[in-house]
Structure 1
């Protein structure tokens, strides 16, 4: 009876059971709310976006007002002027109060450096927006990868438990046969050693499952409950379009990491222009208002504000020499642009490589999944045959052990490749920069 139940036992170890656990979209919604990586990217996006109004402020009117009050104390005699113009000496001390009201309004008319800095800020904002989009797209993949790692680790535990049970059966049967004089002591020692070895592997698999659950919790910020499993009848469809170069071209055009690097270079070019504009004159229009008054305690009632003065003019500033500062700033801007151009080219090549690689992995994964499934079915039949042969004495214990080990390996391979196939389809769309919520929902539809 145990010979007949063993293949069923090993099959049930990886067979999906219906359930009502958490699904992929539950994990994603938790990640969006709690993932610190995405929150950091969003904060940086908002931070860099504020650079636009900061840069724009240099081109807008600047208005300021001031009030100055001074009090001058004097000791001994004080000189004052009488109504007929004679100077009169008065005894004692006194003080004089001065008040000044000022207002200034300035408007840059020509400032090429400020204009270039505003354009650089716009490009920097666009670059950071693409960085955020890359982080959001990466979150889709990180959640799916962490979710699948839990499923695969759980399958590995089940496989190792079934594997351990199989060796325990072999150990028990060999011990029984040895007691009845039907096997040698070496067979008992061998089966016991293998059983204990697989038991240790099962413990390692359980530790890996615990860590996989913690990895998912690290993203979602919530404890991981029972997860829905990937159903066995996966749709094995080739990528659309079924053309490697089409995916590479898409990656070069729409991959957000490439776009971010491209906007960064654009921002650098505007910063070079801004630095070079440091050699150019600036023209500013200004309006000034000033009102002055004076009061003295020695002649009460004589203080008052004088007539206000208003000045209107243009200020032309021509930089002549700043100790080499402008020249050095231009060189810094050029070097930064060159460095970011290198980053852009690196990102372009990486995106093209990733798109081609994941296209091939998805295409070849169809055959890989089918082959792994067929191998599991063949291995199950082999184990049943070897166990039956060992019972009647036509097969050795070594052959039975190899058959069980091969079955476990094939089941492990099958659970890995089928989850990786689904994940590779997401990675392909991420490389092209086209992954979105609908793709994650489609994967979620494969769970049960």
Structure 2
């Protein structure tokens, strides 16, 4: 269980469970547990966070102990004189063992480079935390977009099926009228061509629906079942507050991608300080312990440790020349900071643009959905009139075909406008950095 996701999962656990069919919250629950993009962002967040204790370790006490063992072998023959005056060769030599026990305790007193490294690591951790928050907020939109992608693909398939059936009926009726001498052969060919065309369109729509289901499964990790649909009485409410600049200001202040870039620049500033501190001296306090003992096989009784020695002192290190390394590291840190400043500026501009764009799309989307709905009504009435006129001979089959196509296009636009309006509201909050699970739950309430 990822620690950061625990509060989210607890909220999901108490959320109402769908009575029949999968809904948006069901898809989100599955995505939180299985989405590889979010899992990667979470692992990266934890990875960078460990940089803080790593950097802090350089400022904490360092304790080490050691045991050194040396064995010295000596060999050869020793010449001695016997009582009768003869020289006798006798075996000699042996080995000696030396043992040294050491212990060292050191504590950094002045190390400005290590202090700056710790601050840089903390800023990097905060930057990655905001990057993770951006990934989590993006998951809300990705799930909703994939969910509505399935619904829209299903709607398109339903529309294409209805018009395939409609053109099939027109083709059959026109063929019957042609046999009775009531219509022209051109009408038969036209309706047949359109029927076969919409048959191929319907097959393509079926493939698109399958792919849309796979797109949702790619996020959730689970096969897509029957989904709840967006209800007809969609509330058309504009953005709150109804002020474009307020949304732009919110994006510049709370958008997690902007915050991540800002923390990255802050980390770079500390890295510049750390690199420059490479020219400065460091001061370390240390305590050393040393104990030596020796054992020999020639004089076993003399083996023992000698008296221990303890050393306490301060070590002052002053860097003089490192082959230009420190100077180059300072320049690298400065260039990295300048690059991240450019990224921060780009993120700020993008967030401001997105907030302003989606604010206007939500406002204009209200009128767009309304106009699309009225267009569908007008197109259906026109089609009814055209069919009636064709029956009595006052309208041509070409006009009927145009009317059918106009109805289809109007329905496509109306379907797309409804889903896009809901998504634009989520995208507006994502741009402002304020989107959360409650916004997704509110969208889920629009399903039936």
State the TM-score, normalizing by the size of structure 1. Answer: 0.93
| SS of structure 2 residue aligned to 1:47 | helix
Note the residue ranges of structure 2 that are not aligned, 5 or more in a row: 1-17, 79-88
Aligned residues: 422
Note the residue ranges of structure 1 that are not aligned, 5 or more in a row: 1-17, 79-88
| Corresponding residue of 2:115 | 115
Q: CA deviation at 1:380?
A: 1.1
CA distance in 2, matches of 1:98, 1:226: 80
CA distance in 1, matches of 2:143, 2:36: 13
CA distance in 2, matches of 1:422, 1:390: 40
Please show how residues 130-169 of structure 1 align to structure 2 within 5 Å: 130-169=130-169
| Corresponding residue of 1:193 | 193
CA distance in 2, matches of 1:77, 1:66: 37
| Corresponding residue of 1:103 | 103
Please show how residues 22-61 of structure 1 align to structure 2 within 5 Å: 22-61=22-61
Residue deviations 1:86-124, cap 9 Å, x none? xxx995120000000000000000000000000000000
Does residue 172 of structure 1 match 2:165? Answer: no
| Corresponding residue of 1:369 | 369
Does residue 420 of structure 1 match 2:420? Answer: yes
Q: CA deviation at 1:356?
A: 0.3
| SS of structure 1 residue aligned to 2:301 | coil
| Corresponding residue of 2:297 | 297
**Measured at CA, do residues 19 and 62 of structure 1 come closer, stay the same or move farther in structure 2, by a change above 3 Å?**
closer
Q: CA deviation at 1:270?
A: 0.1
Q: CA deviation at 1:175?
A: 0.2
C-alpha contact (below 8 Å) 1:291/1:308 kept by paired residues: yes
| SS of structure 1 residue aligned to 2:300 | coil
| Corresponding residue of 2:403 | 403
Larger mean CA deviation between 30-39 and 198-207 belongs to 198-207
CA distance in 2, matches of 1:279, 1:235: 65
| Corresponding residue of 1:127 | 127
Residue deviations 1:396-423, cap 9 Å, x none? 1001001111001101100000000000
CA distance in 1, matches of 2:185, 2:412: 32
C-alpha contact (below 8 Å) 1:368/1:417 kept by paired residues: yes
| Corresponding residue of 1:353 | 353
Q: CA deviation at 1:384?
A: 1.0
Q: CA deviation at 1:236?
A: 0.5
Q: CA deviation at 1:77?
A: 5.4
CA distance in 2, matches of 1:118, 1:19: 52
What is the CA RMSD across the aligned residues, in angstroms?
A: 1.4
| Corresponding residue of 1:14 | none
| SS of structure 1 residue aligned to 2:224 | coil
Please show how residues 10-29 of structure 1 align to structure 2 within 5 Å: 20-29=20-29
Q: CA deviation at 1:303?
A: 1.1
Larger mean CA deviation between 200-209 and 270-279 belongs to 200-209
CA distance in 1, matches of 2:201, 2:76: 102
C-alpha contact (below 8 Å) 1:19/1:228 kept by paired residues: no
Larger mean CA deviation between 258-267 and 202-211 belongs to 202-211
| Corresponding residue of 2:13 | none
Residue deviations 1:251-280, cap 9 Å, x none? 000000000000000000000000000000
C-alpha contact (below 8 Å) 1:41/1:135 kept by paired residues: yes
Q: CA deviation at 1:379?
A: 1.0
| Corresponding residue of 1:310 | 310
State the TM-score, normalizing by the size of structure 2. Answer: 0.93
